[in-house]
Amino acid sequence: MSNDYTSVINFALTLLSLSPVVIALPAIFTGILVNNKKIMGKYTYGRKRSIIYFLTIEIILVRGIIGILSS
């Protein structure tokens, strides 16, 4: 084992930067699912809630991309 932990820390930070991007795809599919009236019935998201949901996912995705580009 070397005493150079900077490479390990950089690898961990890269993984932390990638996690929002990896989470975005299932979150988008979940958003599509909760907007489907046939599947969700009376529990379907309304227009306002859907906009807020997808805006939040977009913010998470953009910040993940910024994290990847800045590392």
Other Cβ atoms less than 10 A from the Cβ of 64: the count is: 19
For residue 9, is pLDDT > 70? yes
Residue type, position 59, single letter: I
Residue whose token pair is 């489907």: 36
Choose among 70, 71, 69, 68: nearest CA to 22: 68
What is the spatial distance between Cα 26 and Cα 38, in angstroms, rounded to a whole number?
A: 20
Distance between CA atoms of residues 60 and 24, nearest Å = 7
Q: For the segment 31-47, what is each residue's pLDDT rounded down to a tens digit?
A: 999 999 999 999 999 99
pLDDT for the residue numbered 71: 66
User: Which pLDDT score is estimated for 2?
Assistant: 58
* Average pLDDT over all residues of the chain: 89
| Global confidence as pTM | 0.77
